[in-house]
Amino acid sequence: MRFQNEQGRFIKMINIQVVYALPNNSTVIDCNVDEQTNVLQAITKSNILTICQIKLDEHLIGIYGKRCNLNELVKNGDRIELYRPLINDPKEIRRKKATQKNHH
């Protein structure tokens, strides 16, 4: 954790990651933000929405696999994850595989 002087005061800086995963690759952006940064601010600062050409309102957000609120404060070491909408329902995929096995 580093400290940064802003307007004559010290602000505690923390390290986080912002992640967006696709089926074949993922984008991981390391960010250094002040400890009063919320999830939305961290996502904005990371520039991941522009880099990956995605819209925030089309994605769920979590920290280490647990859904979170956009105004939740981030903590040192957090990994903010942007979740893609599911293309296929996992239950339906399992049903189809089971049906195919039973017919062979």
Q: Rounded to whole angstroms, how far apart are CA atoms 33 and 14?
A: 5
Strands 66-67 and 60-63 turn out to be: antiparallel
Instruction: Map tokens 């961290």 to a residue.
Output: 42
pLDDT mean by block of 10 residues, the chain; 104 residues: 64 94 91 96 96 89 96 98 79 77 70
Dist CA 28 CA 24 (whole Å): 14
Q: For position 80, what pLDDT does the model report?
A: 98
In the chain the domains, ranked by start, together with CATH numbers, are: 2-102 (3.10.20.90)
- Global pTM reads 0.76
**Using CA atoms, how far apart are residues 61 and 46, in angstroms rounded to an integer?**
14
